[in-house]
Amino acid sequence: MGITETSIIYGIIGAVVASAMWLASPIQSLAAGAARFALHLVLWPFFAPVLLGGAANRGASSDRASKPRPPDLDPRVDRAERRLLDALTSLDGVAEDVLGLEMQRVRELTGSLATMARRIGEMDELLATDEFDAARAERALEALRADAESDNRARRDSVEARLRNIRRLEQMRRALSEDLERAILEIEEISSQIRLLRFADRPEHEVSGLIQDIAATVEGLSEGLLSTR
């Protein structure tokens, strides 16, 4: 293909992009609109990704609107705390010297859970933004790869790096959510163990020993949560 043919194709594509940018822009004066049209016509390879990104953004917004919201984990944290504290108080005077220490430890543990739940919420908010919208980034990358005529390597590298960051954040979110889910299930198991002690036909010193064993489990769980924060 000669220079003339290439110039004609370049001009046709530029006119399409400039016209689309004109229609997508707010109402403006004729002089300003003409200047912007000429700029878009000549430099359309720089503005085409912006135009495609806007379309991808609208599609991604529709996708996000159709996705169900993830369940709120904060109520589960509150319920787990109440169950564990209720289980401890249900022992009704058994091993009170041990229970007093464990009440504070339980509150510290559930504080760690609440922090994890808030962090997951913050990640969800970030993933809901345009900057961390994986579908939008993938569409923009596909459009750039399909445009073989222009030299957009730097732009492709930028979008690919952004997509890697999005995937990394999604992976971190999944790992943290799994840790929180596992911790809540372990707390529920500990609560049931403590409630069984109420009916254990054992001397108080043995019950105290069992509570201390359970407390060690709670402490280990709490330390594990702190290491993930």
Residue 69: pLDDT over 50: no
Residue, of 44 and 6, whose pLDDT is higher: 6
How far apart, in whole angstroms, are the C-alpha atoms of residue 36 and residue 192?
A: 69
Residue 124: pLDDT over 90: yes
Residue-wise burial string across 181-198, b where 16 or more C-beta atoms lie within 10 A, e elsewhere: eebbebbbebbeebeebe
Place of tokens 């993830």: 70
pLDDT band at 127 (very low <50, low <70, confident <90, very high): very high
- The DSSP call for residue 92 is T
Q: How far is CA 197 from CA 91, 107, 179, 184, in A?
A: 7, 21, 27, 20
Percent of all residues in the chain with a pLDDT value above 90, rounded to a whole number? 13
How far apart, in whole angstroms, are the C-alpha atoms of residue 106 and residue 83?
A: 11
How far apart, in whole angstroms, are the C-alpha atoms of residue 144 and residue 52?
A: 9
Residue, of 133 and 74, whose pLDDT is higher: 133
Which of the residue ranges 59-73, 80-94, 95-109 would you say has the lowest mean pLDDT? Answer: 59-73
Q: Is 142 helix (H, G, I), strand (E, B) or coil?
A: helix
Give the amino acid at 58: R
- Mean confidence (pLDDT) of the chain: 70
Domain range annotation of the chain: 1-42, 49-228
Which of the residue ranges 91-105, 130-144, 162-176 would you say has the lowest mean pLDDT? Answer: 91-105
Q: What's phi and psi for 199, nearest 5 deg?
A: -105, 10
Which two three-digit tokens encode residue 179? Answer: 């840790």
Residue 58: pLDDT over 50: no
Residue 73: pLDDT over 90: no
Q: Cα–chain-centroid distance for residue 216?
A: 32
pLDDT of residue 134: 92
Tens of pLDDT, residues 145-178: 887 666 778 888 898 999 999 999 999 999 988 8
pTM above 0.85, yes or no: no
